[in-house]
Amino acid sequence: MTAAVRAADPAAPVASCPGWTVADLTAHLTGVHRWVLAALRDEGTPPYEEPPSTPDGYAEAAAEMVARLQQLPPDAPCWTFDRGNRTASFWRRRQLHEVSVHRWDLLQQEIAEEVAADGISEVRDFFLPRMLARGTVVPAGRLVLEDGRRSWTLVDGDGPRATVTASAATLNLLVWGRRTLDDASVDGDGAYAKAVFASALTP
């Protein structure tokens, strides 16, 4: 990600993040990494700040965060926004996916299948329930994602049914709003699948 930020034009728009430039994305990631560093000190909920950033500022924040995560054991206690997992392992996983998706935003670089598969699981198990608790309404029914080797039941209930099939990399970008159903195959109620993905599944 550091190399991508250094190579990009700071004023260039980021097509998959409407309204953002490369400089905005760099500032966002720098702020997130600094926030994680504060969280790892386990001193309570840290304030989130997003100062203007440069490629050098991002590189410094990223290097410090990675070094700190390497120093801490996965079960080291720290603040997170997942009440079910208040350990450093949460941030190892979350920052892997944060950076993977945003690197795609800059480079359209394919996300490794195993990383993407875990990213789908993170959305299904953590972000979607969190969004539902915050008021997101997802149409009732059953929606399953499949990549040929694995499957994820994203919505499980009575009503319309659909199965969306694509690579894990494509499905991961789909749940994060970077791809559309045109990039996958849909078996079953396509209108239902489209309605689910029109919902706010992630922040």
Q: What is the pLDDT along the chain (203 residues), one digit of tens a residue?
A: 999 999 999 999 999 999 999 999 999 999 999 999 999 999 999 999 887 889 999 999 999 999 999 999 999 999 999 999 999 999 999 999 999 999 999 999 899 999 999 999 999 999 999 999 999 999 999 999 999 999 999 999 999 999 999 999 999 999 999 999 999 999 999 999 999 999 999 99
Q: What is the pLDDT of residue 51?
A: 79
Q: Which amino acid is at 6?
A: R
Strand 161-165 and strand 142-146: the pairing is parallel
Q: What is the pLDDT of residue 9?
A: 97
Q: What is the pLDDT of residue 52?
A: 81
Domain boundaries, the chain: 2-107, 115-197
88-107 and 113-122 are packed helices; what angle lies between their axes, rounded to 10 degrees? Answer: 120
Rounded-to-integer distance, Cα 173 and Cα 113, Å: 11
SS3 assignment, position 94: helix
CATH of domain 115-197: 3.30.1050
Rounded-to-integer distance, Cα 56 and Cα 6, Å: 8
The DSSP bridge partners found for residue 142 are 156, 161
Q: What is the pLDDT of residue 81?
A: 96
